[in-house]
Chains A and B, each alone.
Chain A
Protein backbone atom coordinates (compact mmCIF):
# COMPACT_ATOMS: atom_id res chain seq x y z
CA UNK A 1 0.00 0.00 0.00
CA UNK A 2 1.31 3.44 -0.89
CA UNK A 3 2.01 5.77 2.00
CA UNK A 4 -0.06 8.57 0.43
CA UNK A 5 -2.82 7.63 -1.99
CA UNK A 6 -4.76 9.80 -4.37
CA UNK A 7 -7.14 9.22 -7.24
CA UNK A 8 -5.01 10.04 -10.29
CA UNK A 9 -7.99 11.37 -12.26
CA UNK A 10 -8.14 13.17 -14.58
CA UNK A 11 -11.02 15.22 -13.33
CA UNK A 12 -12.52 17.07 -16.28
CA UNK A 13 -14.77 19.88 -15.12
CA UNK A 14 -16.30 22.97 -16.71
CA UNK A 15 -15.32 26.44 -15.65
CA UNK A 16 -17.17 27.52 -12.55
CA UNK A 17 -17.63 24.01 -11.22
CA UNK A 18 -16.78 22.89 -7.73
CA UNK A 19 -14.41 19.94 -7.51
CA UNK A 20 -13.12 17.95 -4.56
CA UNK A 21 -10.01 15.82 -4.23
CA UNK A 22 -9.37 13.27 -1.54
CA UNK A 23 -6.24 11.73 -0.18
CA UNK A 24 -5.51 9.06 2.40
CA UNK A 25 -2.27 8.44 4.25
CA UNK A 26 -1.13 5.32 6.01
CA UNK A 27 1.32 6.58 8.61
CA UNK A 28 -0.67 7.56 11.66
CA UNK A 29 2.39 9.31 13.07
CA UNK A 30 2.39 11.87 10.24
CA UNK A 31 2.36 15.36 11.60
CA UNK A 32 2.17 17.86 8.79
CA UNK A 33 -0.03 17.98 5.75
CA UNK A 34 -0.03 20.02 2.59
CA UNK A 35 -1.51 20.40 -0.83
CA UNK A 36 0.92 21.26 -3.61
CA UNK A 37 0.18 22.15 -7.18
CA UNK A 38 2.39 20.95 -9.99
CA UNK A 39 2.12 22.23 -13.52
CA UNK A 40 3.34 20.08 -16.36
CA UNK A 41 7.12 19.68 -16.35
CA UNK A 42 7.54 22.17 -13.49
CA UNK A 43 8.44 22.00 -9.83
CA UNK A 44 5.65 21.62 -7.25
CA UNK A 45 4.45 24.76 -5.55
CA UNK A 46 2.81 24.97 -2.16
CA UNK A 47 -0.90 25.61 -2.43
CA UNK A 48 -1.77 25.44 1.24
CA UNK A 49 -1.02 23.73 4.48
CA UNK A 50 -3.78 21.63 5.99
CA UNK A 51 -4.88 21.85 9.60
CA UNK A 52 -7.23 19.77 11.68
CA UNK A 53 -9.55 22.72 12.08
CA UNK A 54 -9.79 23.09 8.33
CA UNK A 55 -8.60 26.11 6.48
CA UNK A 56 -9.68 28.22 3.56
CA UNK A 57 -7.76 30.37 1.13
CA UNK A 58 -10.01 32.09 -1.36
CA UNK A 59 -11.62 29.45 -3.52
CA UNK A 60 -9.66 26.65 -1.90
CA UNK A 61 -10.67 24.80 1.25
CA UNK A 62 -8.64 22.04 2.85
CA UNK A 63 -9.71 19.61 5.53
CA UNK A 64 -7.85 17.07 7.62
CA UNK A 65 -9.42 14.13 9.42
CA UNK A 66 -6.74 12.55 11.57
CA UNK A 67 -9.00 9.76 12.83
CA UNK A 68 -9.69 8.59 9.29
CA UNK A 69 -6.24 9.64 8.00
CA UNK A 70 -7.91 11.54 5.25
CA UNK A 71 -7.22 14.91 3.63
CA UNK A 72 -9.40 16.80 1.20
CA UNK A 73 -9.17 19.80 -1.08
CA UNK A 74 -12.19 21.64 -2.39
CA UNK A 75 -11.93 24.09 -5.26
CA UNK A 76 -14.89 26.35 -5.88
CA UNK A 77 -15.63 28.32 -9.03
CA UNK A 78 -12.95 26.53 -11.03
CA UNK A 79 -10.84 28.60 -13.40
CA UNK A 80 -9.01 27.47 -16.52
CA UNK A 81 -5.80 28.35 -14.71
CA UNK A 82 -6.59 25.77 -12.03
CA UNK A 83 -5.74 23.03 -14.52
CA UNK A 84 -2.78 21.22 -12.98
CA UNK A 85 -1.86 18.20 -10.93
CA UNK A 86 -2.64 18.50 -7.23
CA UNK A 87 -0.31 16.68 -4.90
CA UNK A 88 -1.27 15.57 -1.42
CA UNK A 89 1.83 15.76 0.73
CA UNK A 90 2.44 14.38 4.19
CA UNK A 91 5.33 15.27 6.45
CA UNK A 92 6.98 12.91 8.89
CA UNK A 93 7.51 15.68 11.40
CA UNK A 94 5.65 18.71 12.67
CA UNK A 95 7.50 21.24 10.59
CA UNK A 96 7.47 21.96 6.90
CA UNK A 97 11.16 21.22 6.82
CA UNK A 98 10.73 17.56 7.64
CA UNK A 99 10.82 14.86 5.03
CA UNK A 100 7.82 14.87 2.78
CA UNK A 101 6.00 12.00 1.15
CA UNK A 102 4.13 12.90 -2.00
CA UNK A 103 0.98 11.31 -3.28
CA UNK A 104 0.83 10.42 -6.93
CA UNK A 105 -1.21 13.50 -7.68
CA UNK A 106 -4.67 14.15 -9.03
CA UNK A 107 -4.89 15.74 -12.43
CA UNK A 108 -7.47 18.46 -12.92
CA UNK A 109 -8.51 19.79 -16.30
CA UNK A 110 -10.87 22.74 -16.34
CA UNK A 111 -12.62 23.22 -19.67
CA UNK A 112 -14.19 26.40 -21.05
Chain B
Protein backbone atom coordinates (compact mmCIF):
# COMPACT_ATOMS: atom_id res chain seq x y z
CA UNK B 1 0.00 0.00 0.00
CA UNK B 2 0.97 3.61 -0.46
CA UNK B 3 3.18 5.10 2.18
CA UNK B 4 2.72 8.61 0.84
CA UNK B 5 -0.83 9.65 0.18
CA UNK B 6 -1.67 12.59 -2.02
CA UNK B 7 -5.09 14.17 -2.21
CA UNK B 8 -7.00 14.98 -4.29
CA UNK B 9 -5.95 12.74 -7.17
CA UNK B 10 -7.88 14.90 -9.61
CA UNK B 11 -9.25 18.39 -9.27
CA UNK B 12 -10.88 20.81 -11.64
CA UNK B 13 -11.07 24.42 -10.61
CA UNK B 14 -12.10 27.69 -12.15
CA UNK B 15 -9.56 30.20 -13.28
CA UNK B 16 -8.74 32.65 -10.51
CA UNK B 17 -9.54 30.32 -7.65
CA UNK B 18 -7.11 28.55 -5.35
CA UNK B 19 -6.69 24.85 -4.87
CA UNK B 20 -4.89 22.93 -2.14
CA UNK B 21 -3.12 19.61 -2.60
CA UNK B 22 -2.15 17.54 0.42
CA UNK B 23 0.74 15.15 0.77
CA UNK B 24 0.78 12.86 3.79
CA UNK B 25 3.35 10.33 4.91
CA UNK B 26 1.40 7.45 6.37
CA UNK B 27 3.91 5.22 8.12
CA UNK B 28 6.83 7.48 8.82
CA UNK B 29 7.80 10.99 9.72
CA UNK B 30 8.93 12.88 6.68
CA UNK B 31 11.65 15.36 7.49
CA UNK B 32 11.75 16.56 3.91
CA UNK B 33 9.11 16.67 1.24
CA UNK B 34 9.57 17.67 -2.37
CA UNK B 35 6.99 19.03 -4.78
CA UNK B 36 7.26 18.39 -8.50
CA UNK B 37 5.27 19.40 -11.52
CA UNK B 38 5.06 17.45 -14.74
CA UNK B 39 3.57 18.78 -17.94
CA UNK B 40 2.47 16.30 -20.62
CA UNK B 41 5.36 14.47 -22.26
CA UNK B 42 7.87 16.33 -20.12
CA UNK B 43 10.00 15.36 -17.17
CA UNK B 44 9.23 15.98 -13.54
CA UNK B 45 10.45 19.41 -12.57
CA UNK B 46 11.28 20.12 -8.95
CA UNK B 47 9.30 23.08 -7.70
CA UNK B 48 10.33 23.29 -4.09
CA UNK B 49 11.82 21.52 -1.11
CA UNK B 50 9.83 21.57 2.08
CA UNK B 51 11.29 20.99 5.53
CA UNK B 52 9.04 20.63 8.54
CA UNK B 53 8.73 23.82 10.51
CA UNK B 54 10.65 26.02 8.12
CA UNK B 55 9.99 27.92 4.92
CA UNK B 56 10.12 26.01 1.69
CA UNK B 57 13.04 26.45 -0.67
CA UNK B 58 11.83 27.19 -4.16
CA UNK B 59 13.59 26.37 -7.39
CA UNK B 60 14.49 29.15 -9.74
CA UNK B 61 11.52 30.32 -11.76
CA UNK B 62 8.88 29.03 -9.34
CA UNK B 63 6.80 31.81 -7.82
CA UNK B 64 6.63 31.32 -4.07
CA UNK B 65 3.64 33.62 -3.74
CA UNK B 66 1.70 31.61 -6.28
CA UNK B 67 2.64 28.15 -5.06
CA UNK B 68 2.28 28.25 -1.30
CA UNK B 69 3.87 25.35 0.53
CA UNK B 70 3.22 24.57 4.15
CA UNK B 71 4.93 21.75 6.01
CA UNK B 72 3.37 22.17 9.42
CA UNK B 73 3.93 18.66 10.70
CA UNK B 74 6.22 15.72 10.06
CA UNK B 75 3.48 13.90 8.20
CA UNK B 76 1.80 16.62 6.16
CA UNK B 77 2.84 19.09 3.51
CA UNK B 78 0.41 21.10 1.44
CA UNK B 79 0.77 22.89 -1.87
CA UNK B 80 -1.72 25.65 -2.61
CA UNK B 81 -1.94 26.95 -6.14
CA UNK B 82 -3.28 30.46 -5.77
CA UNK B 83 -5.17 32.38 -8.43
CA UNK B 84 -4.92 29.39 -10.73
CA UNK B 85 -4.74 29.89 -14.47
CA UNK B 86 -5.17 27.34 -17.27
CA UNK B 87 -1.40 27.22 -17.76
CA UNK B 88 -1.12 25.87 -14.21
CA UNK B 89 -2.93 22.73 -15.35
CA UNK B 90 -0.47 19.94 -14.76
CA UNK B 91 0.39 16.80 -12.81
CA UNK B 92 1.63 17.75 -9.35
CA UNK B 93 3.44 15.12 -7.34
CA UNK B 94 5.09 15.06 -3.96
CA UNK B 95 7.79 12.88 -2.56
CA UNK B 96 8.90 12.35 0.98
CA UNK B 97 11.97 11.00 2.71
CA UNK B 98 12.27 9.65 6.17
CA UNK B 99 15.22 8.70 8.30
CA UNK B 100 16.07 5.78 6.05
CA UNK B 101 16.73 8.04 3.06
CA UNK B 102 14.30 6.11 0.90
CA UNK B 103 12.15 8.29 -1.30
CA UNK B 104 8.45 7.65 -1.52
CA UNK B 105 6.29 9.34 -4.10
CA UNK B 106 2.67 10.26 -3.70
CA UNK B 107 0.24 9.11 -6.34
CA UNK B 108 0.12 12.56 -7.90
CA UNK B 109 -2.62 15.09 -8.42
CA UNK B 110 -4.02 16.09 -11.77
CA UNK B 111 -5.01 19.74 -11.78
CA UNK B 112 -7.16 21.15 -14.55
CA UNK B 113 -7.93 24.85 -14.50
CA UNK B 114 -10.85 25.88 -16.68
Contact = CB atoms under 8 A, between A and B. Distances in A.
A104 interface: yes
A105 B46 CA distance: 15
A100 B46 contact: yes
A58 interface: no
Interface residues of A, number: 19
A56 B44 CA distance: 26
Contacts, number: 46
Given A43-B93, A96-B102, A97-B98, 17 more contacts: A4-B43, A41-B91, A41-B108, A42-B107, A43-B105, A44-B105, A45-B105, A96-B97, A96-B101, A96-B103, A97-B102, A99-B49, A100-B95, A100-B103, A102-B43, A102-B45, A104-B42
Interface of B: 32, 34, 36, 41-46, 49, 91, 93, 95, 97-98, 101-103, 105-108, 110
